[in-house]
Every structure is written in structure tokens, then in C-alpha cells.
Structure 1
Amino acid sequence: MDLAHTAICVSDLDRAMEFYDALGFEETNRFTLDGVENVYLGRDGDGDLQLRHDPDRTTPVAPNRADVDHIAFTVDDVAETFETAIDAGAAPVLEPTEVDAADAFAAFVEDPEGYTLEFYHWL
């Protein structure tokens, strides 16, 4: 079994697509269903990130780490990806650091919608 995609709601589809484009994601699919725009973004043949935008949504998109702690991506260069994300509009959460308990080198940022992203590679 492989993970096919992770879907997240976004309030500004263009801003979200620009942010993930800066991280090397490319659009792999798009459709609208019941007025909700669905854009799939992929990177290096891995599972996709699905951006869901409902222009008629009346409640704010409010990611909360109590409900979705983070979305993790393996990367070749954690520090470079961290800086790229910051330059693209992310807020730093944890600077690149060794996480001994996980045997990994990792960094965390908050994307423009408020989702926490982890970039890591195994030590």
C-alpha cells in the first residue's frame, strides 16, 4: 500500500500554489467538484499534496497542530529547503537541527496557510 495524497484546505489557491512551486512541486492534476477546486501537486514521483479551495467557504481555514501536527517531506538538503521555504513566505518553527531520538536532521516551517511542514533526511 502506498500513500497516494494528502489533502489540505487553503484559503488562497494562488498563494498556496506559488509557495509549493518554490519548493519544487508541480501540478499533476486539477478538477472542480461541487464548486471546490482541487489541485494536486507532486514532487519527484512521490504521493501528491492536494490543495482544496472552496470559494464559498464561510469559515476560515485554521490549521491547528492539535489536529494535524505536521506534514513531513524527505529532502536532500534540509538547510537549503528551509531557506527556500522562508524566502517563499513560510514562518520558521524550528531551525535545521539534529533530532537524535529520530536519527534525523530536520527543520520545521509554517506554510502561508498555517500548516506545519517538516523537511528532513536520515542521519
Structure 2
Amino acid sequence: MELAHAALCVSDLDRAMRFYEALGFEETHRFTLDGVENVYLGQDGDPYLQLRYDDERTTPIAPSRADVDHVAFTVEDVDAQFDAAIDAGAAPVLEPTEIDAAGAYAAFVEDPDGYTLEFYRLQ
């Protein structure tokens, strides 16, 4: 079994697209189903994220780390990815640091809708 993608509801599709494209993602495909726009983003043609936008949604997007703690991405350069995310409008959660228990170097940011993203590389 292999994880295909994570689906995130977004409040502003254009803003979310600009943010994730600034992190190096590109649109792989999209479709609309029952009025909900679904845009898949990835790298090298492999989709990793599905952005879901419903312009008729009446409840706020309210990610909670109590329910979904974070979405993690392996990266070559944690510091550069962290800086790119901040430049694209992310809020810092944890600056790049060694996480000895996990044998990793990692950083965490919050995207424009409040989802926490982790960028890491194993040591």
C-alpha cells in the first residue's frame, strides 16, 4: 500500500496555488465535482496534495493540530524550503532544528489556511 495524496480544504484557491507553487509544486490535474474544485499538486508528475475549494462552503476552514497534526515532506534542503515557505506567506511554527529522537533535521510552518507542514531530511 502506498499513500496517494493528502486532501486539504482551502478558503482561497488562487492564494493556496500561489503558496504551494512557490514551494516547488506544480499542478498535475484538476476537475470539478458537485461544485467543488479539486486541484492536484505534485512534483515530477506525481500528485501529493489535493486542494479542495468549495465557493459555497458556509463553515470556516479551521485546521486543528488536535485532529490533523501536520503534513510532512522530505526535502533536500530544509533551511531553503523553510525560507521559501516564509517568503511565500507561511507562519513559522518551528525553525530548522535537529530532532535527535527521529534522526532528522526538520522545520515546521503553517500555510495560509492554517495547516502545519513539516519539511525534513533524515540524518
Q: TM-score, normalised by structure 2?
A: 0.97
2:56 is aligned with 1:56? yes
Q: Which runs of 5+ in 2 are unaligned?
A: none
Q: Deviations over 1:34-55 (max 9, x none)?
A: 0000000012455420000000
RMSD (Å), alpha carbons = 0.9
Contact 2:27 2:42 in 1 (8 A): yes
Which residue number corresponds to residue 8 of structure 2? 8
In 2 relative to 1, CA 5–46 (structure 1 residues): closer, same or farther, beyond 3 Å?
A: same
Give aligned pairs, total.
123
Matches of 2:80 and 2:58, distance apart in 1: 37
Q: Deviations over 1:25-81 (max 9, x none)?
A: 000010000000000001245542000000000010000000000000000000000
Mapping of 1:42-121 within 5 angstroms? 42-121=42-121
Partner secondary structure for residue 121 of structure 1? strand
Partner secondary structure for residue 49 of structure 1? strand
- Identical positions, percent: 77
Q: Which runs of 5+ in 1 are unaligned?
A: none
Q: Deviations over 1:88-118 (max 9, x none)?
A: 0000000000000000000000000000000
Which residue number corresponds to residue 41 of structure 1? 41
Which amino acid in 1 is paired with 2:95? E
Partner secondary structure for residue 51 of structure 1? strand
Matches of 1:121 and 1:69, distance apart in 2: 18
